[in-house]
Structure 1
């Protein structure tokens, strides 16, 4: 990985770890660094995988930060989008995937707020509820 990408991912990882609510674990899953609920806490899941709150990946054309808290708590998204707009940054986001090419493309304060916003027990309930709706 190019040094500038390594520095960017390292900086984003530090922000995630600093603001990650208690109980989540850092792991490597799905080919990326993930921040997930231990299966011992979540219980059996529909796919046998731990529920993932966030993840970091190095893709071919960009880096990606998956913020599943935005997906499961849609009320967080307007403030997240507003923070990017107010910072003058262009948000490149799918449902929960924020794509960025450089560290300066991210509003790290907004990222920290979203990561910190979903305590583990609440995330477990949201994940269960989402699965029951399928």
Structure 2
């Protein structure tokens, strides 16, 4: 369910009423947690958090015109999704998250490579997502990305 909204504010207003508050809250904990340098934008039909071209001029290897993606949040048809590229690329961060998750949620962790899915708004562990957002600076992400993904 990709949105055509051009701003995060528009994206939030387009959501079903039962998803608006949790998506607003997710946005806020991520924005508070992210280290200085990341920028918020709409990307890939969701709210995204990126390393801007001013910090990493090469951009995303799939499309260098795009800034380097780091995190994204989306309200999908059957779940709320939190995408975190760093968790996919850094095994220590992934292990930390898997260890912390049960301390913050009674639900089973449902995740793919970089996507963490929550079936119900009340299942989103906001404090944990905020902490996850804080765990990597833009430069650390660029360094990891260039070592792991850029060929």
TM-score by length of 1: 0.90
Match of 2:34 among 2, 10, 20: 20
Structure 1 residue 70: Cα displacement: 0.7
RMSD (CA atoms): 1.4
> How many residues of Structure 1 are paired with residues of Structure 2 in the alignment?
133
| Offset from partner CA, 1:49-106 (integer Å, 9 cap, x none) | 2111110112121121101121122201222112222332321110110111223212
Structure 1 residue 120: Cα displacement: 0.7
Q: Structure 1: which 5+ residue stretches go unaligned?
A: none
| Offset from partner CA, 1:17-64 (integer Å, 9 cap, x none) | 010110000000111100000012112132212111110112121121
- 1:65 corresponds in structure 2 to 82
Contact 1:23–1:37 (Cα < 8 Å) also in 2: yes
Contact 1:90–1:105 (Cα < 8 Å) also in 2: no
Q: Structure 2: which 5+ residue stretches go unaligned?
A: 1-14
- 1:81 corresponds in structure 2 to 98
Matched, 1:9 2:27: no
Question: Whose helix proportion is higher, 1 or 2?
Answer: 1
TM-score by length of 2: 0.81
- 2:58 corresponds in structure 1 to 44
Superposition map of 1:116-131 within 5 A: 116-131=134-149
